[in-house]
Amino acid sequence: EPEVTQTPSHQVTQMGQEVILRCVPISNHLYFYWYRQILGQKVEFLVSFYNNEISEKSEIFDDQFSVERPDGSNFTLKIRSTKLEDSAMYFCASSGGPGQLYEQYFGPGTRLTVT
Amino acid sequence: KQEVTQIPAALSVPEGENLVLNCSFTDSAIYNLQWFRQDPGKGLTSLLLIQSSQREQTSGRLNASLDKSSGRSTLYIAASQPGDSATYLCAVPDNYGQNFVFGPGTRLSVLP
């Protein structure tokens, strides 16, 4: 069964450093998402991406964040100048159609620890 | 803005019991609702997706129902097992966008 994959599974970085989290969505999906979950809190939406551009972003997704689909398979989340409060589990998801209508498939997550 | 709540926040039951987890959402104009399972420190495993045209969806010992008009969904787990211990999340689309809005989850412990 097709699945969303994410690398790395765990990333430790120092405050102020840049990190890139990688995702490989399901191959025939067109819509891509990033969510995050701070320990003990709800899963929160960050950004959605369609047709090589951001279609929606939350208040959390400020200028330190960016997303990119550098090739036909990868979808990346870049965090510039990480802060302690960026420590969280980051989930990538993809869907075959618009998120309101279609099931979203989630990856296993990347645990980001900022020290 | 869509808001999702789940009760109870935590539940502890002996093995073999049937149980019901509840999810409520404020904007009833949804196209679907998804239930997920999350093990500690792990990712999200999709359990069931209910389309708005459906009232129920079943997978093995799990049955999810959806009452759009009242803004509620329930997840019924039959004959619970210790392996069912996890946090169960429900999520609905934010109708002003394409993302899902998640509830806080119900942390389930099934005791052997």
CB contact under 8 A, A100 and B105: no
Q: A31-90, pLDDT tens digit by residue?
A: 999 999 999 899 999 999 998 999 999 999 999 999 999 887 899 999 999 999 999 999
Q: Which of A56, A91, A106 sits opposite B97 (nearest CB)?
A: A56
- Kindly tell me if the per-residue pLDDT of B52 is higher than 90: no
- Contact in structure between A102 and A96 (CB atoms under 8 Å): yes
Q: Which of A43, A44, A100 sits opposite B93 (nearest CB)?
A: A100
B64-B67-B71 Cα angle (round to 5): 110
CB contact under 8 A, B43 and A109: yes
Q: Residue B37 has which token pair?
A: 């399972």
Which residues fall within 8 angstroms of residue B87, CB to CB, at 6 or more apart? B37, B38, B39, B40, B105, B106, B107, B108
Higher pLDDT, B94 or B16: B16
The continuous run of DSSP H or E covering B73 comes out as strand B72-77
Q: What's the CA gap between B24 and B65, in Å, rounded?
A: 12
> Quick one: which of B35, B38, B32 has its CA closest to B22?
B35
CB atoms within 10 A of CB B16: 11
